[in-house]
Amino acid sequence: MAETMIGVIGGSGIYEIDGLEDAKWREVRSPWGDPSDKIMTGRLGGVRFAFLPRHGRGHVHTPTSVPYRANVDALKRLGVTDIVSVSAVGSFREDYAPGDFVLVDQFVDRTVAREGTFFGRGCVAHVSVAHPTCPRLTDACEEAARATGVTVHRGGTYLAMEGPQFSTLAESRLYRDVWGCDVIGMTGMPEAKLAREAEICYASVAMVTDYDSWHPNHGEVDVTEIIAVLSGNADRGRAMVARLPGLLGPGRAPCPHGCDRALDHAILTAPERRDPALVAKLDAVAGRVLHKGAGT
């Protein structure tokens, strides 16, 4: 049985994690550039564990400058099998209130200025992201989150905007009233797509911090208030993460939803037409299939 390694990507307000045994910050090199920061590795509850602050310690990266490919590739290189993304979101629903956790299961990608794939000319692949999050990993996150006492909503569509400015009122109304989205953030995409390309199970735990700008009884989004809500929820976030190893266990059966086999039939480029330089960069992400001579 394969070994589980949990990777938590911490969002705004979450720059470190405690409680890891043998914790050390490791510099992980990636052909896709430098990750957002060093990655803390260790063991939690007997399970291999990695933590990466998405914006870097000290909040260096904007949502646009986050090196999403390097981050996912670096986690894959470390052996991460399951990524839990923790992020702050605005809510489009009265009943998804600040302080609540939402287990996102769908995304609408409105980002425009990010590299959204590991593949390209010389190695073309098309994976399905019809269901971009992993139900097995999300089940564990749900159980872990509910045990902390926080209000948890299973399911929600996350509108990923480019930012860094928050939405206009017209945009907020469009995403909510016309498109039926549930929450809004700036980082869920392309992270989720890249995790699928890298064959890593991905769950998105969104912490509601505000009502964006649509709500008549709430003011405009204020980043200070967002951080205050996140700080108020930090203990619950930590408690949720601490329960994950016990729920996932150290040994890992193949994903019943196929996340860990997403590339089985995805690569179209004929082996003799592949770009060796790109194939070399894909060693961690796609080595499982590329080095078996998969493709058509």
Q: Which residue type, as a one-letter code, is found at position 142?
A: E
Q: For residue 274, what are its two tokens?
A: 């592949």
- Is 186 assigned a ligand-binding role in the annotation? yes
Task: Pick between residue 5 and residue 230 the one whose CB is nearest to ligand LNRAV4D5.
Answer: 230
- Is 55 assigned a ligand-binding role in the annotation? yes
- C-alpha 30/C-alpha 14 separation (Å) is 23
Instruction: Using CB atoms within 10 Å of the CB of residue 171, give its burial: 0 to 12 exposed, 13 to 18 middle, 19+ buried.
Output: middle
Task: Pick between residue 167 and residue 187 the one whose CB is nearest to ligand LNRAV4D5.
Answer: 187
Work out which of 10, 185, 245, 295 binds ligand ADE, going by CB under 6 A.
185
210 is catalytic: yes
Angle of the 223-248 helix axis to the 135-147 helix axis, nearest 10: 110
Q: Where are the beta strands (DSSP E) in 126-278?
A: 152-154, 157-160, 183-185, 201-210, 251-252
From the list 73, 182, 212, 260, the catalytic residue is 212
User: If you ran DSSP here, which 8-state letter would residue 267 be given?
Assistant: B
Cβ–Cβ < 8 Å for 84, 205? yes
Q: How far is the CB of 194 from ligand LNRAV4D5 (least distance, A)?
A: 15
- Is 87 assigned a ligand-binding role in the annotation? yes
Work out which of 134, 141, 221, 240 binds ligand ADE, going by CB under 6 A.
221
What stretches of 11-134 show up as alpha helix (H) in DSSP?
68-78
Piece in contact with ligand ADE (CB under 6 A), picked from 86-94, 99-107, 143-151, 196-204: 86-94
156 binds, among ligand ADE, ligand LNRAV4D5, none (CB under 5 to 8 A by kind): none
* Binding footprint of ligand LNRAV4D5 on the chain (CB under 6 A): 11-12, 54-55, 63, 87-88, 163, 185-187, 223, 226
Q: How far is the CB of 28 from ligand LNRAV4D5 (least distance, A)?
A: 19
Cα 136 to Cα 20, 32, 238: the distances in Å are 23, 29, 20
User: What is the binding site for ligand ADE (CB under 6 A)?
Assistant: 88-90, 161, 166, 184-186, 209-210, 212, 221, 226
Give the active site residues.
Answer: 210, 212
